Amino acid sequence: MFQKTAEAKYTDIIPLIKEHLEILEGNIEKYFPNISANQYDWVRNPFIHDPSSKTQLSILEEEELINIRNDPTLKLEYLDMLLESFWIKIEKEHPHIPKTQKILLQCSTSYLCELVFSTLTNFKTNKKRSRLLSVEEEMRVCLSSVPHNIERICKSRQVQKSH
């Protein structure tokens, strides 16, 4: 299929591939750093966190975390809310706590990437490839969070035009 590439014996391409893979590796480490889950136990539950444990928090951040831990109203709110909602709510009251959203968003962004990739793979199957006109439009419909209303769309169209 790539006759000129086969004739070149890959001597020109191998350095380009290596450079591309090194750049890709650097970007992966940048966007998905290796983090210890134990280091962020306080994000999952600030009320069982031991302030003497080794977290990379400053003294001011540790004090705010202790204030959160000792507030009974926040503990009740924590039990009634989603984790993300809880941290968003107390962010204004406790501005020195580091951005917990960055820690919590890493899982959701990888989930969305996997969802998009699975959808695209599904479109690229042999059965659907012949009927596929525009991948972008199909992807937009499949990945949209807006619920579709087929009945309303059908009612707005005439079934068959009169002769």
* pLDDT for res 2: 58
Asked whether 51 and 66 are in contact (CB, 8 A), the reply is: yes
pLDDT tops 60 at residue 163: no
50-54, 97-101, 120-124: lowest mean pLDDT where? 50-54
How many angstroms separate the CA atoms of 25 and 154, rounded?
49
Instruction: Return the residue matching tokens 């966190």.
Output: 49
Between 132 and 147, whose confidence is greater?
Answer: 147
CA distances from 62 to 27, 28, 104 (A): 31, 30, 19
Q: Which long-range contacts (CB under 8 A, 24 or more apart) does 21-26 make?
A: none
Lowest mean pLDDT among 48-62, 78-92, 140-154: 48-62
87: nearest Cα among 125, 30, 144, 46: 46
Distances (CA, A) of 34 to 21, 31, 39, 112: 19, 10, 11, 20
* pLDDT at site 57: 78
- Residue 3 predicted with pLDDT over 70: no
pLDDT of residue 17: 81
Mean pLDDT, residues 41-59: 74
Mean pLDDT on 24-51: 76
- pLDDT at 58 (0 to 100): 80
Residue with the bigger pLDDT between 28 and 9: it is 28
Supply φ then ψ for residue 3, to 5 degrees: -65, -40
Q: Highest mean pLDDT range out of 35-39, 50-54, 75-79?
A: 75-79
Each residue's pLDDT tens digit, 76-112: 999 999 888 888 888 888 887 877 777 776 666 667 7
**Is the whole-model pTM more than 0.85?**
no
